[in-house]
Amino acid sequence: MNAHSDCMTIIYNGKIVMENDGVIDKGTMVWQGERIVYAGHSEQFDRRKFEQGLSVVAIDAQGGWVLPGFIDVHVHGGNGRDFMEADAKAYDTITRYHGRHGTTGMLATTVTAPQEAISRVISAAAAYRSGGVQYAELVGVHLEGPFISPRWPGAQDPRHIVPPRLDWLEGWVSEFPELIKMLTLAPELDGSMAVIQWLSEHGIVPTCGHTDATYECILEAVGHGLRHAAHTYNAMKGLHHREPGTLGAVLSEDRISAEIIADGYHVHPACIRLLSRVKPDDRLILITDAIPASGLSDGSYTIAGLDVIVKDSVSRLKEGGNLAGCTLTMIEAFRFMVREVGLSVERVSRFASGNPARLLGLDAEMGSLATGKLANVLLLSPDLAMRNVWVRGRSISG
């Protein structure tokens, strides 16, 4: 379902959010086929130069926001389906659901599970990617575990936690090169430093999470290539004024980018605001950590074989009550950051699009609205309601 190269789409009278130039009021956004051909001031756009011989679709943004599509680097599922199912129909459901809520690129995120189950997900993701882009684009895989701390399992199944296994990674990467984009692990485990260095050398983002690491351990890991933190504040050793812990290192070390779940339950808005003040603007990344229950009503569900209860849209393990992922979508997280945390639309756009694209090394193709990049575009109303989503120039909102 590729966009036709003989069709041009124009969005006019919109607030165009540019990566480096702020917001262009009453701007114009144009793409032909899959690629952006213009994003800027309306008075500088000469329509006659572009539309010769093309069919044209013109859309009045009515003063709404035009943003780059969101990229979710940490998402487990949605609308009743789980990436661990390793099934193309499940992946269609997940990418369609999150796509219609503004996610145009995503990482299929695993959970702590046996080697064979993780292998099936990696294989299924590779096969799914080879079939072309239907909805949100599956840009790779994020392995969350199984090399995590048994002290901070969160909603991961502790029965499947294992020490770091470099041989597993070597096998996966050999068979599916460049597919695995991130791996979350506990740096304090024996063998983690060697794995972190190997990941960094192979273009995979080493990520700390579900960890009891000390401040000093995290800094040592940074020296080996660690550069990202999963769901900051959650499932990690907290901050103490005499032992800064994992959190203290994430807050104070500029070489570490930090994920945040902005739903008001995982992290208090004041703590999100604090994170936005201490981290450089290019080191904060918005995620959903969404589970299969996202998009469904309150009730009983499972994630990775564990029973989960969703009440008032908050998901918790039935046994123990730990928060169990999230029912969030990226547009909901985006609105929360603007309305409850008090950040500007252009800053939050960077957290939801530009920063994850750079983290994954995809910024030449996506993450901002610039000539030549893929037309992954969102049109929001002035009050941030989703009006339309385009992936590679094609609307997926219907």
pLDDT along the chain (398 residues), means of 10: 73 94 92 94 82 84 98 97 96 98 98 98 98 96 98 93 98 98 98 98 98 98 98 97 98 98 96 98 97 91 83 84 88 98 97 98 98 98 98 91
Phi then psi for 162, rounded to 5 degrees? -135, 160
Q: What is the pLDDT of residue 4?
A: 65
Nearest alpha-carbon partner for 112 in 192, 184, 198: 184
Rg of the Cα atoms in the chain: 21
Q: What is the pLDDT of residue 1?
A: 42
Residue from 72, 212, 289, 363 carrying the catalytic annotation: 289
CA distance 147 to 139: 23
CA distance 140 to 127: 11
As given in the structure block, the two tokens for residue 199 are 């990941």
Other C-beta atoms within 10 Å of 338: how many? 17
Other C-beta atoms within 10 Å of 205: how many? 23
Q: What is the pLDDT of residue 292?
A: 92
- Partners of 388 in beta bridges: 379
The answer to whether the bond into 280 is cis (omega within 30° of 0) is no
Q: What is the pLDDT of residue 398?
A: 67
Q: What is the pLDDT of residue 164?
A: 98
> What's the CATH number for 7-67+368-395?
2.30.40.10
DSSP string for 266-304: SS-HHHHHHHHHHS-GGGEEEE--B-TTTTS-SEEEEET
70-359: in CATH 3.20.20.140: yes
As given in the structure block, the two tokens for residue 98 are 């999150």
Q: Which residue has the tokens 């390793």?
A: 86
Q: Is 363 a catalytic residue?
A: no
**With DSSP H G I counted as helix, E B as strand and the rest as coil, what are the percentages for the chain, rounded to 5?**
30, 30, 40
What is the distance, to the nearest Å, from the Cα of residue 163 to the centroid of all Cα atoms in its chain? Answer: 26
Say how many Å lie between the first and final Cα of the chain, rounded: 14
Nearest alpha-carbon partner for 375 in 11, 14, 107: 11
Secondary structure (3-state) at 314: strand
CA distance 215 to 231: 17
- Any idea where the domains of the chain sit in the sequence? 7-67+368-395, 70-359
Half-sphere exposure of 260 (CA within 13 A, CB side): 33
Using alpha carbons, list the distances in angstroms from residue 176 to 40, 140, 157, 181, 360.
39, 10, 26, 11, 16
DSSP state of 351: I
As given in the structure block, the two tokens for residue 340 are 């409850």
